[in-house]
Amino acid sequence: MAAGASARDYSFAAEYDGPPLPYSLPRAIPLDLSRIPLAALSSSPPASPSASSSPLPVVRPLTPSSLCSAIHAHAHPAPRSAAPAPAAGGAVVDSPTSVIENHHAAAHHSAELPSSPSDDEGAGGGPEALPLKPRHHQPAVTFAETSGSLLQSSDDEDEYEEEEDEDADAGEARPRAAAGQSSGSLSPAHWRGGRTRGCYRCGKGGGFWGRDKESCLACGARYCVGCVLRAMGSMPEGRKCLECIGRPVAESRRGALGRGSRVLRRLLSAAEVELVMRSERECAANQLRAEDVYVNGTKLSPEELVVLQGCPCPPSRLRPGFYWYDKVSGFWGKEGHKPHCIITANLNVGGSLDQKASNGNTGILINGREITKSELQMLKLAGVQCAGKPHFWVNADGTYQEEGQKTVKGKIWDKPIVKLLSPVLSLPTPNKAANQSGEDAVNIVNRVIPDYLEQRTTQKLLLVGSGASTIIKQAKFLYKSGKPFSVDEREDLKLIIQSNIYNYLIILLEGRERFEEESLADRRKISPSDPSSSGCCESGVCDEVTEYSLIPRLKAFSDWILKAMALGNLEDIFPAASREYAPLVEELWKDPAIQATYRRRSELPFLPPTANYFLDKAVDISRTEYELSDMDILYADGITSSDGLASTEFSSPQLSLGGLGVDESDAQDTLLRYQLIRINSRGLHENCKWLQMFDDVRLVIFCVAASDYDEYYEDANGTIVNKMVESRQLFESIVLHPTFEQMDFLLLLTKSDLLEQKINDSPLTSCDWFDDFTPLISRNLLSSSSKSTRSSTGATLPQMAAHYMATKFKRLFQLLTDRKLYVSYVNTLDQESVRLAIHYGREIVKWEEEKPVFGASETVYSEEPSSFTH
Amino acid sequence: MASVAELKEKHAAATASVNSLRERLRQRRETLLDTDGEASLSSPLLVGDPLSWGSGNSRAFADCSVCVRLRGAVARYSKSQGRAPVSFNPTDLVCCRTLQGHSGKVYSLDWTPEKNWIVSASQDGRLIVWNALTSQKTHAIKLHCPWVMTCALAPNGQSVACGGLDSACSIFNLNSQADRDGNMPVSRILTGHKGYVSSCQYVPDQETRLITSSGDQTCVLWDVTTGQRISIFGGEFPSGHTADVQSVSINSSNTNMFVSGSCDTTVRLWDIRIASRAVRTYHGHEGDVNSVKFFPDGHRFGTGSDDGTCRLFDMRTGHQLQVYSREPDRNDNELPTVTSIAFSISGRLLFAGYSNGDCYVWDTLLAEVVLNLGNLQNSHDGRISCLGMSSDGSALCTGSWDKNLKIWAFSGTRKIV
């Protein structure tokens, strides 16, 4: 296979055509099948599980050090078993030829055996493995004897690697962890860097050309200009060879992260290099791994690490290791050493400070830490009385006091000599920014979260159905305290409202025409039966004037609007000309005829309930300088002019919880972000393909207007459909959509205020689906005033109706999916009610996350957790 | 209420009569197709090299007579002419580049003839412009709305367009400077669609013209410089699509013509100059048409559908020339749907991506599967969502839900068939 691969050239890349080389090029040795050691076939360098795709087979001459790593890697999985360990899926199998070539390469390079990678942090497997290399000059590798000794050497590493790679497959966690996924802080077992000058892929180079190489950040393999692009591919994580994608970078190379290289600049355009460097800096795999950093003896969580690195004055050059951190003063240092720097104080990271943290022996304590000699010297210079081994309490601004005493004795940094001499004693001085922003650091809500974390921590909640856009708007008011709506959004909404006024007006005008005709017809019906009425000429005048008639001037205007609408160019006329006609619109609206029409609005099915709100303000709204009030925004239909999709993000459960019992949320919660996404239900149908895009949402919030049960609309085929039945169909199609197979659903019954208003006039049974609604209402109460209709259980009729609807939906959901539907009630115009609903949604997400931990004890969760929120 | 019932009755009757008429039309169409099967194939169907990956000059169907009528007749005829099916070894088409860098499903890609740039759109809310030669990113654009469904590179390679669930098409000028966070400013937003933007394509010879298709059942021709709609295809006009339009393809030899495939299972042909009605409607598919692509010669086009088949239609006669349907799996009763199609530069090969991660290479003439890219080494792990050919025909790019794009190249040792 290797021979086949090399015979063809798939590459676009240019061949080397530079000056002739002063040395002979290494040639491929003809393959002798009998010389292939069987064991070598299985010696695949274990690819990390995340590196799903693997490149073309790459013939890579095994240099001594890379052989070392290969064997090192291989030695771990069951070395003595006869069956070769299964090659990691899709990993590059080191072809047999490479071993043979290595025979030569090793002999050739034996003079310059690689020393261990210079890794300042840890002792590694490298040095132990080194002495073994010369034994491998024989192609017939016998692993039995070597692997035994390798195992022993690797045992030393194991104690460092105990807490690694919980996510690796349980069965192979240990051997893989040791072989491929070694922690960045310790010597990575896949490290292949050495002093070998040649390219790891083509073997060329050395001497002068050795400088023009790029090395992998994770394993240190070096590639020449011709090979680097093939070996590293599209560099999604920066300069790493393909097999190293997903592996942490070697700590010794962390400093080089994001620093451009000459080699890449020669090969790629500036923009390309820039992007490679950006992904190198920003991708998740290259970040410092939180579990490698210990602060005050406690391993950091990823969130704590973000807090630490995101603070205004972070510790410089943070590397894996053990640190102590004085939360009060902000002192930061390596464990067993004097302070290294002063970082932002009051960060909630790590455990509590130990007295022996900096291994001092002076007997003087600062914030509970015994200080070192050089610190004592500094204190003396600062004029602090240190007789009698006092215990000091030092604040972030440098003020100090003795433990147990209230009086501030002074400020350490007051004397200029302290700041001058601190560097001499290699002690830190406070950064200016550190003091000012101590309080801000606590308020991590407003901090920018790096991209790689954002994707992991954002929980998406999908909002569907009627009233969803109002909820989005409310959420914006709730969580975006500064500017809930951008200028553009307000402009958009303004346009919507302005053009909607005309839509409302048209509905009214059409209704007026209809009513006028009807009443005229009625009158004609009456008049023949009333021969005693006055003469024809007089009746002819009278007939024209009904309650619904307009004066001619307004009539002309109304005709013109209706004509424009019929022609379909209303959109073109109105947003632009709205100001011009605003007084006319208002006059029209105030006209008794229109008002009479409006009184019969129950017969105008398409007139939204908000119409009068906006028509009352017609003149106001039509002004160009019209500023939307919050109420206007809530009442407006839709969010954007295209009305396709809207979303808003929020975080900070503390803020949203307000004063109400802040559950002492762990640090994790502060980073959790929620994204409410509202999609337009109009485009949804059974086979809706774009719903697949929302397969990563955590919860679908389905909104149904409780007042829809007696409302109808005309669908495209002209059939009259009950809105509630339509909602049910939509609900079914979304619940059954393959994308949401395992999704949790929350049903929000909105517009409960409207339900209350009309439930007494219009029975719930007017909807076919609810025909078996038989509220238990005691007879005597029913006979009394309908206002206080109460069932024997004390629930009012609207409450029972809402509950009944919820039960209907729950049963439907149970039938469709065999799971439980969460239900809540909300009045979208009431901010508090929306806040509670969103909070409930968040609780569901949290609960579903923790359920596996608790065991699926459904009974713990109350059946009806939220009360009626009217 | 009586009138409503009456109306309903009338409506039902009308629907029934429409359906019966439609059925008769279909039958009539089929009998017409049957009348003169192979007899009418008087002129040679194929002259010249049927497959050429590299040259791009020869056209498989160059001399194809218009009167290929019978479904499958193409295959029968070419067999009778001694046409051997194209045969590929598994190593003849190899993955030579893997473009990694997206952190979400890849939904769309476009390969520009200029500069060898590929643009890809992913659910992580980013557009990435790749240099196909070095497999490096040249631009990464963070989008305002992450639910992007389509992207396109301008013919001159100066700008990219993308659209999605925000119902708008955003244009980015690739020469503009990114701000401090590395975000590229939007140079223009084309608004006006009332549904999601499912597909967009620049008119090949005009940088300033762009055609989009949308979930609002229309296609729109835009002037990119002004941001105005030039014409709207479908919608209120009676001959428009009756469901979401999923895909458009512009005829490369006559850029006034384009076809659109829709969820109403039809494909419609439009003339840019006549927006009022569709020139022709092509029936045949039994599911949503997800992808349409013009055949390289511009006289035919291919379609890919939810019914699991690809079809080849003759643009002028409206006849279905070929069906590419895969055998149902033994254990899997549901046919995977076709997500995207592409033709090789000669037209001899049809690439079709399926929802189960397969990517078949069809012999366009004989309707036989030549190769399944999904079974090859280094193939994708997820559904293949989009396909694109390089302009010289030397390579195919596939984008997949496994977050990667792959470039497949013909290994080049074989002689042209």
Share in percent of chain B as helix, strand, coil (round to 5): 10, 40, 50
Q: Strands A822-825 and B93-99, how do they pair?
A: unpaired
3-class SS string, A648-660: EEEECHHHHHCCC
Q: Is the pLDDT of residue A134 over 50?
A: no
Q: In this prediction, does ipTM exceed 0.85?
A: no
Can you tell me which residue has the tokens 């608790």? A854
Q: Is A448 on the interface with B (CB under 8 A)?
A: no
Q: Is A469 annotated as a binding residue?
A: yes
**Which of B89, B91, B97, B176 should we substitute to test contact with A (largest number of A Cβ atoms within 10 Å)?**
B97
Q: Is A486 on the interface with B (CB under 8 A)?
A: no
Burial A806-834 (b: 16+ CB within 10 A, else e): bebbbebbeeebeeebbbbbbbbbeeebb
Q: Which positions 776-805 of A are in contact with B (Cβ < 8 Å)?
A: none
pLDDT of residue A41: 41
Name the strands in the sheet holding A339-342, side by side, starting at the edge strand that comes first in the sequence.
Answer: A298-299, A293-295, A321-325, A331-334, A339-342
Contact predicate A381/A415, CB 8 Å: yes
Confidence label for A644 from pLDDT (cuts 50, 70 and 90): low
Integer-rounded Cα radius of gyration of chain B: 22
Instruction: Find the DSSP H helices in B273-414.
Output: none
Q: Is A4 on the interface with B (CB under 8 A)?
A: yes
A765-824 pLDDT tens trace: 777 788 787 766 555 544 444 444 444 556 678 888 888 888 888 988 888 888 888 888
Q: Is the pLDDT of residue B107 over 90?
A: yes
Contact predicate A110/A190, CB 8 Å: no
User: Which of B100, B137, B412 lies at the smallest CB-CB distance from A8?
Assistant: B412
User: Which of A234, A642, A693 lies at the smallest CB-CB distance from B98?
Assistant: A234
DSSP state of B272: T
Chain B residues within an 8 Å CB radius of A496: none
Q: Strands B228-234 and B218-223, how do they pair?
A: antiparallel
CB contact under 8 A, A642 and B288: no
CB contact under 8 A, B215 and A54: no
Q: Give strand ranges (E) for B235-275.
A: 245-250, 257-262, 267-271
**Which of A6, A10, A50, A273 should we substitute to test contact with B (largest number of B Cβ atoms within 10 Å)?**
A10
Q: Which two tokens stand for residue A167?
A: 């996510």
A421-453 pLDDT tens trace: 676 666 776 665 444 444 443 444 444 555 666
Choice between B350 and A274, residue whose per-residue pLDDT is larger = B350
pLDDT of residue B151: 93
Q: Strands A458-465 and A673-679, how do they pair?
A: parallel
A809, A707, A808: which is closest to A761 by C-alpha?
Answer: A707
Domain map of chain A by residue range?
213-286, 290-438, 455-484+643-652+670-773+796-850, 487-521+549-635
Amino acid at A805: M
To the nearest whole number, what is the mean pLDDT of chain B? 81
Q: Is A642 annotated as a binding residue?
A: yes
Can you tell me which residue has the tokens 């006009």? B237
CATH of segment(s) A455-484+643-652+670-773+796-850: 3.40.50.300
Confidence label for A753 from pLDDT (cuts 50, 70 and 90): confident
- Closest chain B CA to residue A492: B191
DSSP state of A728: H
Choice between B6 and A617, residue whose per-residue pLDDT is larger = B6
Contacts for A667 with CB less than 8 Å, ≥ 6 apart: A301, A303, A304, A307, A348
Confidence label for B261 from pLDDT (cuts 50, 70 and 90): very high
Distance in Å, alpha carbon of B262 to nearest chain A alpha carbon:
12
Q: What are phi and psi of A575, to 5 degrees?
A: -55, -35
For chain B, list the domains and their CATH numbers.
Answer: 68-100+309-327+342-416 (2.130.10.10), 106-191 (2.40.10.480)
Chain A residues within an 8 Å CB radius of B191: 641-642
pLDDT of residue A398: 74
Choice between A602 and B111, residue whose per-residue pLDDT is larger = B111
Q: Is the pLDDT of residue B378 over 60?
A: yes
Most confident of A371-385, A770-784, B46-60: A371-385
Lowest-confidence segment of A286-295, A499-508, B70-79 by average pLDDT = B70-79
B32, B61, B31: which is closest to B48 by C-alpha?
Answer: B61
CB contact under 8 A, B138 and A245: no
H or E stretch covering B189: strand B188-191
B306, B266, B262: which is closest to B283 by C-alpha?
Answer: B266
Angle, alpha carbons B252-B255-B258 (nearest 5°): 90
Contact predicate B368/B78, CB 8 Å: no
Q: Is A679 on the interface with B (CB under 8 A)?
A: yes
Average pLDDT over residues B215-225: 90
- Gap between the Cα atoms of A226 and A791, Å rounded: 84
A180-235 pLDDT tens trace: 333 444 445 566 655 556 777 777 665 555 567 788 888 878 788 778 888 888 88
pTM attached to this predicted model: 0.70
Q: What is the full DSSP assignment across A594-615? A: HHHHHHTGGG-TT--TTHHHHH
Contact predicate B119/B170, CB 8 Å: no
Contact predicate B147/B108, CB 8 Å: no
A693-714 pLDDT tens trace: 888 888 888 888 888 887 777 7
- Gap between the Cα atoms of B183 and B174, Å rounded: 11
Q: Give strand ranges (E) for A387-506.
A: 391-394, 399-402, 410-411, 458-465
Confidence label for B221 from pLDDT (cuts 50, 70 and 90): very high
Its CATH architecture, for the domain A487-521+549-635, is: Orthogonal Bundle (1.10)
Q: Give strand ranges (E) for A373-457.
A: 391-394, 399-402, 410-411
User: Helices A468-479 and A831-854: crossing angle, nearest 10°?
Assistant: 90
**Which of A93, A234, A567 should we substitute to test contact with B (largest number of B Cβ atoms within 10 Å)?**
A234
A487-521+549-635 shares the fold of A455-484+643-652+670-773+796-850: no
Q: How far is CA A466 from CA A473, A683, B239, in A?
A: 13, 13, 32
User: Helices A592-599 and A487-526: crossing angle, nearest 10°?
Assistant: 90
Q: Is the pLDDT of residue A159 over 60?
A: no
A831-846 pLDDT tens trace: 888 888 888 888 888 8
pLDDT of residue B331: 64
